[in-house]
Amino acid sequence: QVQLVESGGGLAQAGGSLRLSCAASGRTLSNYAMAWFRRAPGKEREFGAAISWYGDSTYYADSVKGRFTISRDDAKNTVYLQMNSLKPEDTAVYFCAAKALDSSSWYHAAPWSYDYWGQGTQVTVSS
């Protein structure tokens, strides 16, 4: 079991920045591929960004590409999402997710591919 706790959400103005953190406990984070998803009010959960087990591959949704950066610090058992040039449409609850390194395939943008989820952190961007 791995427990994930997100932090760093809050209120930002359009054009501003926030950095989200996802702290893992219970297992070594290096054994997990990680991702950030988000759910805006009245919308389905959507993929935001993902990073592979060794951090050598990153993936982004078109809506955040060039503005958001996912990174990991396995020594701190933490994954980050740096969000720049924020837009009001980035307003959502942001969740981090972990996929164990095992024999099953990893579909980085598919929520069902992940084994563990955090509770989420609210990000609100005002215009």
CA distance 3 to 22: 10
At position 9, the amino acid (one-letter code) is G
Query: Do residues 124 and 76 make contact, with C-beta atoms less than 8 angstroms apart?
Result: no
Q: What is the mean pLDDT of residues 102-117?
A: 91
What's 122's DSSP letter?
E
Is the per-residue pLDDT at 35 higher than 80?
A: yes
Place of tokens 């809050």: 10
- What confidence tier does 28 reach under pLDDT thresholds 50, 70, 90? confident
- State whether residue 115 is helix, strand or coil: coil
| Whether residue 103 has pLDDT greater than 80 | no
End-to-end alpha carbon distance in the chain: 40
Quote the pLDDT of residue 33.
96
Residues above pLDDT 90, as percent of the chain: 85
